[in-house]
Amino acid sequence: MTQTDRNRVLIFDTTLRDGEQSPGATMTHSEKLEIAELLDDMGVDIIEAGFPIASEGDFAAVSEIAQRSKNAVICGLARAQLPDIDRCFEAVKQAARPRIHTFIGTSPLHRAIPNLSMDEMAERIEQTVSHARNLTDNVQWSPMDATRTEWDYLCRVIEIAIKAGATTINIPDTVGYTAPRESAELIRRLIETVPGADEVVFATHCHNDLGMATANSLAAVEAGARQIECTINGLGERAGNTALEEVVMAMKVRNDIMPFQTGIDSRKIMHISRRVATVSGFNVQFNKAIVGKNAFAHESGIHQDGMLKNAETFEIMRPEDVGLSGTSLPLGKHSGRAALRAKLKELGVDVGDNQLKDIFVRFKELADRKKEVFDDDILALVSATTEGNADQLQLVNLKVVCGTGGPAEATIEMEIGGTEHSATCQGDGPVDAAFKAVRDLHPNTARLQLYQVHAVTEGTDAQATVSVRLEEDGMIATGQSADTDTVVASVKAYVQALNRLLVRREKLGPGADAREISYKELG
């Protein structure tokens, strides 16, 4: 084995599985396929595409991702149960390089859930890992809540999993409990102690409950782990997971003290970060490392002076290294489609002729309203054209009257199933009035879980991006839209979320359980 091989760190992305489990982050089938393609294209080694036993929708998504994959290993997750493992393999088997990832909770708290003794759990681990290995030669096993599992028992079950045929041993910090020094020591001791440890890849899976997921993952790598489990933007349950962009850029920028390499094309980070934020409805916080809006912004006078003299004074990486262009778009209302396509390509966005046509129309409308059109404005237009024109609910026109003299009033014209309808409602502000008008036209019991607005760019003429999350009968759907009119963007996002609820209800059928098997039931 060469030094380069020893220092190669595999990137295992679980945005589509652990990331999607984040409440409200459910993605549509087409969105999962799109994100998987972007992950594959940027150089992710292993894509955990989903939990095939969770629902028919999850199985279909994992199966199609497996068929479409070009380079990455496609992995599915399965509990330590034979039906789960069989279902998982059925979903991933058409991939050029399939993997089964099976797990069971090994800490005292997690052992109490299935009410298994230590010996009974050890027997199940041997049985299920062996079964998975009989289906494929690429098997990953995880002792869930490993960082709170007794040392002797952890060593025992890892040895059993290795002997049963696991090729990757993942050590999950399921509740974000550990710290960097402890994370490193745990990996180091396991590799030194467990028989057969030198024949498998050790992986680290860290959650961010104490804000140390990235540090814990990098510490594990320094101790010998050679696979990091992570998500785009750190998306995940509770406080999230290790962020892919953070560990990749940390190893790239500080290669002097962390001499490890990944296969990630970092120039594609910003594009996929924006797409994940859009489809999940989880906007990236402004001060988020690497991909936040302020990550390469400088307002302090001292900082600005230093940047003008030498960018390295206050920037340890170039914006271009993560695929960010800091310049405004030199296009206006007289620009043509060729120039727009060239700019989209520069931003890492490839679109077909039909989508370009839609974006170009929206671009012209925006250029008439704005003095400056920025890169982020264009990316917002791209996001606004991702929804199809076959939606049952479509906004036709919106008129709002509001002020200090009384309640706001909104008149909405909508096309519902091909027929136009209109309604006028009053409310506590223009958005409330508009949402009431939509509910008047399309009665529903959906509960608004999240309403979030942020400006895409600066200035009073900036586009507002609005994210809406709705919950109805256990189903969660998000909508997102951008417009220079905040109320218009709000209604479009609300209608988009309602359309997604309609689609999911149609797929499940009347009276069906929205989640079929909830993630809580899956453990």
HEC string for 420-480: EEEEEEEECCHHHHHHHHHHHHCCCCCEEEEEEEEECCCCCCCCEEEEEEEEECCEEEEEE
Q: Which helix (H) or strand (E) holds 250?
A: helix 244-253
The predicted-structure confidence for 108-143, as pLDDT tens digits, reads as follows 999 999 999 999 999 999 999 999 999 999 999 999
Q: Region 338-367: what's the mean pLDDT? A: 81
- The residue with greater pLDDT, 1 or 273, is 273
Give the sign of the dihedral formed by CA 320, CA 324, CA 325, CA 331: positive
Strand partners, 412: 398, 423
Q: Which of 42, 95, 33 is nearest to 69 (CA)?
A: 95
Asked if 89 and 54 touch (Cβ cutoff 8 Å), the reply is no
Residue 515 is predicted with a pLDDT of 43
> Is residue 182 very low, low, confident or very high in pLDDT (cuts 50, 70, 90)?
very high
Q: What is the DSSP letter of 170?
A: E
Asked if 480 and 491 touch (Cβ cutoff 8 Å), the reply is no
Judge residue 166's burial from the number of C-beta atoms within 10 Å of its C-beta, 0-12 exposed, 13-18 middle, 19 or more buried. Answer: buried
Q: Region 204-219: what's the mean pLDDT? A: 98
Residue 457 has pLDDT above 60, yes or no: yes
The predicted-structure confidence for 103-112, as pLDDT tens digits, reads as follows 999 999 999 9
Residue 98 has pLDDT above 80, yes or no: yes
Residue 332 has pLDDT above 80, yes or no: no
Tell me how far CA of residue 262 lies from CA of 29, 70, 251, in angstroms: 29, 18, 8
Residues of the chain with pLDDT > 90, as a percent, come to 60
Binding site: what residues are annotated?
18, 205, 207, 241
pTM: 0.79
- The residue with greater pLDDT, 379 or 438, is 438
The predicted-structure confidence for 466-518, as pLDDT tens digits, reads as follows 989 898 888 888 888 888 899 999 999 999 899 988 887 776 654 444 444 44
> Is residue 203 very low, low, confident or very high in pLDDT (cuts 50, 70, 90)?
very high
Residue 70 has pLDDT above 80, yes or no: yes
> Is residue 465 very low, low, confident or very high in pLDDT (cuts 50, 70, 90)?
confident
> Crossing angle for the helix pair 213-222 and 180-193, nearest 10 degrees?
30
Q: Region 203-231: what's the mean pLDDT? A: 98
Give strand ranges (E) for 38-167.
46-50, 73-79, 98-105, 139-144
Q: Region 236-252: what's the mean pLDDT? A: 96
Residue 507 is predicted with a pLDDT of 63
> Is residue 384 very low, low, confident or very high in pLDDT (cuts 50, 70, 90)?
low
Average pLDDT over the chain reads 88
The predicted-structure confidence for 269-314, as pLDDT tens digits, reads as follows 999 998 999 888 888 888 899 998 777 764 445 444 554 455 566 5
Residue 252 is predicted with a pLDDT of 97
Residue 175 has pLDDT above 70, yes or no: yes
Binding site for Mn(2+): what residues are annotated?
18, 205, 207, 241
Residue 8 has pLDDT above 50, yes or no: yes
Q: How far apart are alpha carbons 358 and 348 in whole angstroms?
A: 18
The one-letter amino acid at 235: L
Residue 509 is predicted with a pLDDT of 55
Residue 137 is predicted with a pLDDT of 97
3-state secondary structure of 174: coil
Residue 2 is predicted with a pLDDT of 56
Q: Rank 312-316, 323-327, 346-350, 498-502 by mean pLDDT and report only the highest.
A: 498-502
